[in-house]
Structure 1
């Protein structure tokens, strides 16, 4: 199984930390955010990894290299300007192959076990679905949530019992059939269509997870690791 780590964002809310350092290379617990993901993927024996980048992307390539020191093999999908999630993944599809792959946002912190990913991919095949999203309980900075979850399927948000998309999921390449790789496109556009067709599975993860969106949240993780 292959994985894609999304690392093309500007990280504007993290400024000034991201003025000269790409957000995925910000350090927590002595390691870059993206480094934690690589190590977890290596432990799960998911070793073929694609990383997209835009803002200060040359620093990401210089820091990670071919991935061998982390026990993985990295290929890069460079974007002259950030394409947003859906188009960025579509551009990288030639590197990801024909089978479902794991997608992880570089700027989340989590202890989720990547060894679950092949089982989620198997469920896509069994249910003839296009994606499986990992949801988390709504954090304090996003109490309204993103989606409802019912009987293992993602639904558009209609109630107060909603959850937040974790930035992690397993996707079939077919999910991106209608996405243009040259037009910046957020993930929510193809997601909306696939949800309407009941083609998006989901599950709730209640372990450690944090969207590292601000310097304060980065500091919170640093403090939790110190204890």
Structure 2
């Protein structure tokens, strides 16, 4: 009986040491991956990388992790001379292969959500244009409300615009209709040049493509996904 008690104590101690070693190893790996992700994606702030599953050491021994989560905040997205701040980007990466001392990380597949506030979207809009919530149209389209004064015309307008994904990294806003008093004067093209616009969402992992956008009371929720996604290189 005494022998079995000693064996049990040894097993418990070794198990505790293994768990401690595993947690230390995963913490080091997460930090290295976050640093490389920041450098690879050109982020101003280091993202949070969380390696899921236990034990980590067993997964690492096979060179592939089942699930890795990443959260990045305050991403300054620049494109075509315009900027658009992404408040948060959360992504789940599946089948992540690490190599080169966790300096390289490529996922078999990934899906994520980028969130953009209306305040940041207004800053990225053409001069004088403000973007606010409008909900969803009867046919399920993501809509926002645009208000502003048209330069050179002096007319203040308020219109509903549809938000759509355009290409792998761009969202666009297009007014459904314009005030009749402006279209009757043949000013539709002039007005649309001031209120219809596109903006790129840059600094997201390579291989990620935007798939859809929905509106919330506080901003836009843009879904993304892809295969062979590079977290770090």
Q: Normalised by the size of structure 2, how large is the TM-score?
A: 0.22
Q: What is the TM-score normalised by the length of structure 1?
A: 0.23
Structure number with higher helix proportion = 1
Higher relative contact order (CA 8 A, sep 6+): 1
